[in-house]
Amino acid sequence: QVQLQESGPGLVKPSETLSLTCTVSGGSITSYYWSWIRQPAGKGLEWIGRISSSGSTNCNPSLKSRLTMSVDTSKNQFSLKLTSVTAADTAVYYCAREISQETIRAFDVWGQGTMATVSS
Amino acid sequence: DIQMTQSPSSLSASVGDRVTITCRASQSISSFLNWYQQKPGKAPNLLIYAASSLQSGVPSRFSGSGSGTDFTLTISSLQPEDFATYYCQQSYSTPRTFGQGTKLEIK
């Protein structure tokens, strides 16, 4: 059974870079898209972006200028870097697997989430 | 971006009730609509994909319908474990977008 685990520092200073990694276990990172989704406390879900195992990316236009995603297939990991963070970036960050086939496109496996707080 | 609007934003119901949540897309998304359940402190869980297909392991009291711009999630007989927040999500195009959520509470 595939499992995802987010990791990264829980506290980031304003204007600095938030770096998170998601480790995929129990299955291969190939043949799927891998997304980052965030949720501020008490609010809804926001899709940040996704990366394929070959490294192709799609980003939310609202974050595109600050966002970099990468994948390391040898480690079964993918990562996110969000630059110039502000308090508005404080949220629980989830990584998720997206099945993306002709008629089925959905986030079927999620990590447990990691809290990232932007504060000095 | 495709905007997803859910109604109602919150709902009070009793165990055994039949409940329906609606989701409307700002443009046609064919059947690329998914439903998730989220409990406090937990990640969302996929319930329904492609508008009406039940994810493996999800109880059959959950069902989905619709196509184009209008979709519904129905819970045929509420169970205590169903009290949670529900989100719709379109997978027709990027950026992927979610509805604002419907919080289902115990009456």
Peptide bond into B8 cis (omega under 30): yes
pLDDT tens digits along A54-113: 999 999 999 999 999 999 999 999 999 999 999 999 999 999 999 988 888 999 999 999
Verify whether the Cβ–Cβ distance A106 to B95 is below 8 Å: no
Phi, psi (rounded to 5 degrees) for A62: -70, -20
| Chain B residues within an 8 Å CB radius of A107 | 34, 36, 44, 46, 89
Disruptive mutation site among B38, B54, B96 for chain A (greatest number of A CBs within 10 Å):
B96
Taking the Cβ of residue B32 and every Cβ of chain A, the question of whether any pair is shorter than 8 Å is answered with: yes
DSSP state letter for B80 = G
Taking the Cβ of residue B31 and every Cβ of chain A, the question of whether any pair is shorter than 8 Å is answered with: yes
pLDDT tens digits along B42-95: 999 999 999 999 999 999 999 999 999 999 999 999 999 999 999 999 999 999
For A19, A108, A116, B69, B72, the CA distances from A95, given in Å and listed in that order, are 13, 11, 13, 28, 26
Task: Supply the pLDDT for residue A103.
Answer: 81
